Structure 1
C-alpha cells in the first residue's frame, strides 16, 4: 500500500516520513493552517529523493501561478482540491490528482467526467478543502468497477482506522494529514506508526 503524508512544512518531518516508507509528500499552497510558500517547499524538496512524489495542493488557483510554483519549488505532481473542471485539469504537463469530496454515490460518479492520473476521494468540505479529519462512507468504493483508476483515499484516516479503510475501499494509496498530528503539528511518531499500519497488509500479502 502506498502512503502520502500531506501538509509537510519542515525538512525533519519530510525526511522522517520518507525514511519510514512514505511514497508521496503533500505541500499545501491553498488557504490552510498547513499553507507553505514555494520558497519553503523548495528548501525541503531539494533534500528529497528524485523518485518521491512531491505533491502541490491547490484550490481554484490561477493555472499560471500553479506552473510558477511547480517550477520554483520542484513539485512533480499537482493536486487540485477545488471546483476545477475536466478541461482545467487537462492543461498541465505534470501528473494531476483531482480531489473529490464524497457525500453520496453521485459525488463518486463525478470521477467519470475527468481524465486524470489519480483521483483523491475525500470527506465532505469543512472549513478547508481537505485536512478536516472527518471520514466518509468507504463502502461507496466497495465493489465499484474502477477501470484501473488510481484512487487515493483521504479524509479522517488515522493509525486506528487505516487498516479497516484499506480493507473496505482497496485504494491505490492512502493520504493522511491531521491523523498524524498532535496539537495541530506533525508528530513523527504518529507518521511512523501510520505508515507501518498502512503497509502491514501489503507485507502480509507478500509473505
Structure 2
C-alpha cells in the first residue's frame, strides 16, 4: 500500500515523511482554497532535496497545458497532480511535452457521475486520485477539505479503472483501515489527518502509517 503525505511545507517535513515510510510527497501550489499552499521556489527546493525514487507530486489548479508545463519546469517535480478538470487535448499536450513525467488526475467524488468521469479519463493518465472537493462552488474546493466521501463510489472506480487509484479525503489513523478494506486502493493520500495546527505531527504520522501497514498485512 503506497502512502502519499500531502501539504509538505519544508524539507524537514519531507524528511520526516520519508523516514515514516511515505512513498510520495505532495507539494501544493496556488489554489483557490484549502491548506498547504507554498511558493513555487519552496516547492523546487523541497523537490530537489527528495531522493529520486520517491514521487514528488506538484498539486496544480491550472488547466491550461502550457501553464502546467511551465509550472513543472519551474518546480522540477516528477509527477503532476491535476486538481481540476483538464481536457483530453491538454493531457495529450502534457504527454508530448513532458516525457517521463507522470500525470495523476484528481476526481472529486460527489455522486454517480464521478464514477463515469473517472472511468472516462483514466486511460489518458497514469493514475487517479479520489478526493472530496467540490468544483461547482463559486470558490472551488480542490482538496484538503478533511471530508470523507462515499467510499462505495470510490470502490466502483477502483474496480473499473485501468490505472492505479489513490484514495484521499478525510483519512486519519482511526478510519484508514476501514477505508482500505472498503475501497482497496493502490495507495492512500493524507494531509490534515496527520497535522496539528497545520504542522506535520510525528505522532499522528506514525499512528497513520502503523494503521496502513496493519490493514495491508491482514489483506495480503
Structure 1-normalised TM-score? 0.91
C-alpha distance after superposition, 1:57-77 (max 9, x if no partner):
111344333223322322000
Q: Which of 161, 186, 191 pairs up with 2:200? A: 186
Say if 1:65 and 1:124 are closer, same or farther in 2 by CA, change over 3 A.
Answer: closer
Query: Partner of 2:65 in structure 1?
Result: 63
Q: Does 1:75 align with 2:87?
A: no
Q: Does 1:203 align with 2:220?
A: no
Say if 1:121 and 1:13 are closer, same or farther in 2 by CA, change over 3 A.
Answer: same
Q: Does 1:139 align with 2:146?
A: no
Say if 1:146 and 1:46 are closer, same or farther in 2 by CA, change over 3 A.
Answer: same
Q: Which of 130, 138, 142 pairs up with 2:143? A: 130
Q: Which of 75, 100, 105 pairs up with 2:107? A: 100
What's the secondary structure of 1:130's corresponding residue? coil
C-alpha distance after superposition, 1:37-65 (max 9, x if no partner):
22111221222111000000111344333
Kept after mapping to 2: 8 A contact 1:100/1:122: yes
Query: Partner of 1:112 in structure 2?
Result: 119
Q: Which of 84, 87, 90 pairs up with 2:92? A: 90
What's the secondary structure of 2:49's corresponding residue? coil
**How much has 1:147 moved relative to structure 2?**
4.5
Kept after mapping to 2: 8 A contact 1:13/1:188: no
What's the secondary structure of 1:46's corresponding residue? helix
Would you tell me which structure has more helix in proportion to its own residues?
A: 2
Which stretch of structure 1 is more off in the superposition, 168-177 or 25-34?
A: 25-34
Q: Does 1:26 align with 2:9?
A: no
Separation of aligned partners in 1, 2:130 and 2:11: 27
C-alpha distance after superposition, 1:64-111 (max 9, x if no partner):
332233223220000111122222223222111111111112211111
What's the secondary structure of 1:3's corresponding residue? strand
Unaligned stretches of 5+ residues in structure 2: none
Query: Partner of 1:48 in structure 2?
Result: 50
Q: Does 1:177 align with 2:177?
A: no
Aligned length: 206
CA RMSD, aligned part only? 1.9
Unaligned stretches of 5+ residues in structure 1: none
Kept after mapping to 2: 8 A contact 1:124/1:136: no
